[in-house]
Structure 1
Amino acid sequence: MHHPAPYLVHVFSAGPAGGNPAPIVIDAEGMSDDAMREVARSNGHESGFVLPAPAGNDADLALRFWVPNHEMAMCGHATVGAVWLLDYLGLLRKDRLRIHTPSGIVEAVITDAGTEGAAVEVSQPAGKVETLDGDGLREELASILGTRAATLGDGPLQNARTSRVKTLIPIASVAALDALTPDFSRVQAVCDRIGSTGLYPYAIDAEPGVVHARQFPQSSGYPEDAATGIAAAALAFGLLERGHLSPSSRLRVQQGRAMGHPSEIRVRLQQDGRAITGCWIGGDVRVDAGA
């Protein structure tokens, strides 16, 4: 059965080769699971598939996400990319959307809709943060990352999540973060043991509100990710718990530079009174020429 070819968007781009590539199929109705997985496998990237909202659901559309190895419940950059692409192609009639995903309803807001410079933000729920104990774990994670425990920063190891658990690992400097050389063969086992879907080492920049990070996923089918929206959201809540982020300040997470794909994810917390009810993640998007 013939299916429409995906568009390739680059999400959270912060330079000419930047951003996380995401193949997006804008009319995936009728595609089988195997066909969706094949798009992700043949492109080698997390891929998004736009579908009609399920019957009886008040969502505007549905999204599914696949990596080469499996389906995912949520993918931040593919959601931002899909919404930006639908707007770019003139297929949206509104600038605030409710999107049905396997992880639940996600909201999207588009600023400057209908222009190539349109900005998309997608919602994530309030984060949950758990501190991981033990010097033995610090030594083990440092070893897996190809460094020494002394290279780790002063902050705690944290498992944080808004959609999927990421393990936040403070690193003492941006230079040390860039120099990490992980043993990828050991990532999956430690993630399985500590209940995580990826290691997210980060280093706090001298510039306020800027943090650098790298993401080594548990089992996506590739060793490093250029930009991870839900990990950046998780990091915001980890930093909030550490007192490194105030509820009203905005976070810029720079990722992918060590891979040659400089990316920036912008995160702002959402408040209702004094309660933090979630966050919004956004960033720049570009589409490959010819789309």
Structure 2
Amino acid sequence: MSTPNVTVVRACLRGGAGGSPTAVVLEDDGDGPPPGDDERRRIPLAWGTSHAVYVRHAGDATKLRFFTAEGELPACGHGTVAALALLAAQYGGAGPYRATLRAGGRVFAGRAEQAGALFTAAFDPGPVDLREPAGEERALVLAALGLAPAQAGPDIRIAGVGRERILVPVPTRAALAALRPDLDRLRTACDRFGLLGAYVHSYPSPAGTLAARMFAPSIGVPEDLANANSAACLVAHLAGRGIHRIAVDMGDALGSPATITATTGPDLRVELGGTARVLPEQPARRLA
């Protein structure tokens, strides 16, 4: 099965470069019936991306579905940024492109605006659920990450936007860069507790900048180049400490720097943002 309507969008760039390559499929523009879910899982592999997002207009909203090689996800932040950028490129006019999006059982607003070759996108990822980890969750995940209890900060949290993940602070960017997790052990721990993965982050600077790495072997992504929904989880947690805006650097360990912004308002509603580049048209590839 060929997929001529796949466009690769590099989402959550830093300084106009890097970012997370994401396969975006505008299913309304296809020449035939949309792919089945098995084909949707194979498209990220065929196009060399960790994630794919499928876009279909449905009444007054635009429906998004997100897949990795392991299966469907209820939400994907950088996939939403990529979809908004391509929608703005295809259908946007002179001003900001605005869309009502439907994904994971919820309806939310998104927008994107073009500036030269780049698109700046933002959206509401939805409410964030936060809780303390159980002792076993904390112990097994830290062991899989190769961290002794004293090497992680006290503010470990379980947080969810669509699906729970564990937030693990480490004191410095150097400590973050030095992580060499046991991915098999981490997958076992995450599968046991139903976690998406482990989002390990440095402490924010006074200006709200920090670095993070997301390890998600349970969804077929050993390390994610950019994980925007985890940034939403983190800023919701940090709001309790008076930090309402962060800029998260990711992807450096993988050679593709990415940055995600996350902001909370007085009502603790989160807005995620990122910059994207729509890559030139590429020849269709055949799925294995």
TM over 0.5: same fold? yes
- 1:33 to 2:37 alignment: yes
Q: Name structure 2 gaps, 5 residues minimum.
A: 283-288
Q: Does the Cα contact within 8 Å between 1:10 and 1:20 map onto a contact in 2?
A: yes
Q: Does the Cα contact within 8 Å between 1:4 and 1:27 map onto a contact in 2?
A: no
Q: Which residue of 1 aligns with 2:247?
A: 252
Tell me which amino acid in the other structure corresponds to 2:56: L
In the alignment, the residues of structure 2 paired with residue 266 and residue 182 of structure 1 have an alpha-carbon distance, to the nearest angstrom, of: 26
Q: CA deviation at 1:163?
A: 2.3
The correspondence of residues 111-150 of structure 1 with structure 2, limited to 5 A, is 112-113=113-114, 115-134=116-135, 138-150=138-150
The correspondence of residues 1-291 of structure 1 with structure 2, limited to 5 A, is 2-14=2-14, 18-27=18-27, 30-31=33-34, 32-43=36-47, 44-53=49-58, 57-59=59-61, 61-89=62-90, 91-92=91-92, 95-110=97-112, 112-113=113-114, 115-134=116-135, 138-153=138-153, 155-241=154-240, 243=241, 245=243, 249-271=244-266, 275-276=267-268, 278-290=269-281
CA RMSD of aligned residues (A): 2.2
Tell me which amino acid in the other structure corresponds to 2:271: W
Q: CA deviation at 1:114?
A: 7.3
In the alignment, the residues of structure 2 paired with residue 197 and residue 283 of structure 1 have an alpha-carbon distance, to the nearest angstrom, of: 21
In the alignment, the residues of structure 1 paired with residue 10 and residue 276 of structure 2 have an alpha-carbon distance, to the nearest angstrom, of: 6
Q: Does the Cα contact within 8 Å between 1:88 and 1:114 map onto a contact in 2?
A: no
In the alignment, the residues of structure 1 paired with residue 263 and residue 37 of structure 2 have an alpha-carbon distance, to the nearest angstrom, of: 34
Report how many aligned residue pairs link the two structures: 275
- CA offsets per residue over residues 115-159 of structure 1, 9 Å max, x none? 53331101112211101243x654433321123322212x32200
Q: CA deviation at 1:4?
A: 2.4
Q: CA deviation at 1:220?
A: 1.7
CA 1:138–1:52: 2 relative to 1, 3 Å: closer
CA 1:268–1:129: 2 relative to 1, 3 Å: same
Q: CA deviation at 1:208?
A: 2.0
Partner SS for 1:52: strand
In the alignment, the residues of structure 1 paired with residue 82 and residue 235 of structure 2 have an alpha-carbon distance, to the nearest angstrom, of: 21
- CA offsets per residue over residues 190-223 of structure 1, 9 Å max, x none? 1133342110111114342112111011412131
Percent of residue pairs identical: 28
Q: Does the Cα contact within 8 Å between 1:145 and 1:183 map onto a contact in 2?
A: yes
- CA offsets per residue over residues 234-257 of structure 1, 9 Å max, x none? 11112223x151xxx321111111
CA 1:205–1:119: 2 relative to 1, 3 Å: same
Q: Name structure 1 gaps, 5 residues minimum.
A: none
Q: Does the Cα contact within 8 Å between 1:67 and 1:220 map onto a contact in 2?
A: yes
Partner SS for 1:268: strand
Q: CA deviation at 1:95?
A: 2.2
Q: CA deviation at 1:258?
A: 1.6
Provide TM-score, normalisation by structure 2.
Answer: 0.87
Work out which structure has the larger RCO, using CA pairs closer than 8 Å and 6 or more positions apart in sequence: 2
In the alignment, the residues of structure 2 paired with residue 280 and residue 164 of structure 1 have an alpha-carbon distance, to the nearest angstrom, of: 18
